[in-house]
Each structure stands twice: as C-alpha cells, then as structure tokens.
Amino acid sequence: MKILITDGLANDAVEKMKEFAQVDMQFYPEETLGEALKDYDVLVVRSATEVRQKVIDQAVAHGKLKLIIRAGVGIDNIDHHYAREKGLSVRNTPSANSNAMAELTLAQLFAVSRFVAASNVTMRQGEWHKKEYRGVELLGKKIGLIGFGHTARLLADKCHALGMDVYYFDIVGEDKNSPHTFVPSVAELIKEMDYITLHTPKTPDGKPLLGKEEIATMKDGVRLVNCARGGLIDEMALVDALNAGKVAAAGLDVFLNEPTPNETLVNHPNVSVTPHIGAQTLEAQQRVGDEVVSVIKEEMKLN
C-alpha cells in the first residue's frame, strides 16, 4: 500500500503508517495532483490541498486510489459527493480538532471583550491606554452559535460555565439532549445576541452567511467570532460595520484569502486576528494523526 500525505501530519502517525505502508509526504498543486495519484491507494490532505473533479477523474482513471482522508473537520476542499459517486471513500476526523478549536474561539471571545490583542500591541509601542480599554464581561451575556457540531457543543458548555446564556441554530434542527436554547433560524438567532460565533462549513454557493443585510439586523455593539471558515462573513461589510460601531469587535482565525488576508480588516484596531491556528495544538495534532491511522486501517481492512 502507498499513502500520499500532502499537507503534513504528526510524526507519530506517520511512523505508525510506515509499519504497514509506504508513506510519501509532498505537496502537489491541483494541476499536478491528479497525475501523482496514479501511484497511491490513500490520499491524506488538510486544508491547503484542493481535490476537485478534475483531480478525482484523473485518479479514478488510474484505478489505484481508494480512499481520501481530510485530516480535520471540514471537507469543503474536496468535491466529496463527486468522489463518492466515482467509487472513492471520503473520510474526515470530525472530533479530533474540536476541543482545540473551541478553546481558540473562547480565547477570541475574551480578546474581543477585553482588548487583549490591541493592548498587547500598543504596550509594546510604549503606549498606556488603561482608560480607553474599558471592556465588557462575558457573564450574563447572550451568545448565539451558528452551527452545532462537535466544536460548537464544546464551546457552548464552556460558555455556559462562564455564566453566558447560550443559544444556537443548526440546519439539522434541535438537539433534544442539549441544555442550551435552540433557535429555528439564523435570522432570528442573530437579532438579540451580544456575541455570535460561527461553526459551519462554507455555504454551497460560496456566498457569505453573514453579509451587510444580516449584520444590519444585529444588536448594536455585537461582537463576532469566526474560527470556522473564511468567507462566512462578508469582510468588507464587516469593516464597514466596525467603522460605524455596529459591530464592536471581531475575532477572526480564518479569512477569505489565506495566507494574504484583507489588510484593512487585519489591521483594524477592533479586530483580533490569528493565522488559522484553530487546530494547532500538540494534543489536537496527535488526535488527528491517530484518527487518520484508524480510518486507514478500517477502510483498507487491516488488522
């Protein structure tokens, strides 16, 4: 068996794979990936590699590839429905990153409430803005979660423990086992929230989930956090809302154009930014690697 890993993986996981397969680690751009896959049974990607229909067609024509694994949660960088139609198995590791992403989202909630990011910069510049940095507390605030998968559920519990009132919307409907409050639509959810966080894949048409019209319906002074997918918030509409004070602050780990995001947004004084590090913890990387190994063994029917 031959395995191709294009975007890196924990060393321990790679060593475990080498016990039952030949493992190659190399990034291929979309235009050359399909041809490269003629030699491989398994492809393991993260977010950088795009596996689109042309790549899938080339791989299927060679007849060797059987399994594509997204080492992470979202699989929107893979045309997964098309791949399955062509007989390929497509898997991900939906829970391995969840706690790391929930904790970063929580960190951004603190950052946008207490000027953590901004004051870190200004103090290093020799400035002392104690009076200007009057923040708000999370205690007693309403937070709305758009999407209620693994990450959102963990975040909801953490926010509840901090004394926040937690509301959520999910396309599959209400979770009867959750103690948090279900709201039946995004439009209804975002109207009265003090904080809004996003936990969904990209929209099917690639358009923002929260644009100018949606932001206009939000509470004045709302705070937004997106550690899910770039493009879920209209970035220029967000800049306008920040400038107008409609949005008090935003915490962003993901951007429409990575690794060269909108400079106006990144440099805005009321924005806390991180470079797509939601899954970048030692523990998460270990869990992702272990889950990838388990998926390969299961799919390829190895003991």
- The C-alpha atoms of residue 251 and residue 100 are separated, in whole angstroms, by 16
Q: Which of 223, 276, 287, 291 is catalytic?
A: 276
Phi/psi of residue 50, nearest 5 degrees: -100, 125
Q: Is position 276 annotated as part of the catalytic site?
A: yes
Q: Is position 258 annotated as part of the catalytic site?
A: yes
Question: In 194-258, which residue ranges form alpha helices assigned H by DSSP?
Answer: 212-216, 235-244
Q: Which of 80, 229, 268, 287 is catalytic?
A: 229
Q: What torsion, rounded to 10 degrees, do the Cα atoms 255, 256, 257, 262 define?
A: -70
DSSP state of 180: S
Contact by Cβ (8 Å): 68, 37: no
Which amino acid makes up residue 239? V
Q: Which of 30, 258, 283, 298 is catalytic?
A: 258
Residues forming a β-bridge with 78: 51
Which amino acid makes up residue 184? P
Q: Which of 253, 269, 263, 271 is nearest to 125 (CA)?
A: 269
- The C-alpha atoms of residue 230 and residue 246 are separated, in whole angstroms, by 21
- The C-alpha atoms of residue 95 and residue 145 are separated, in whole angstroms, by 18
Catalytic residues: 229, 258, 276
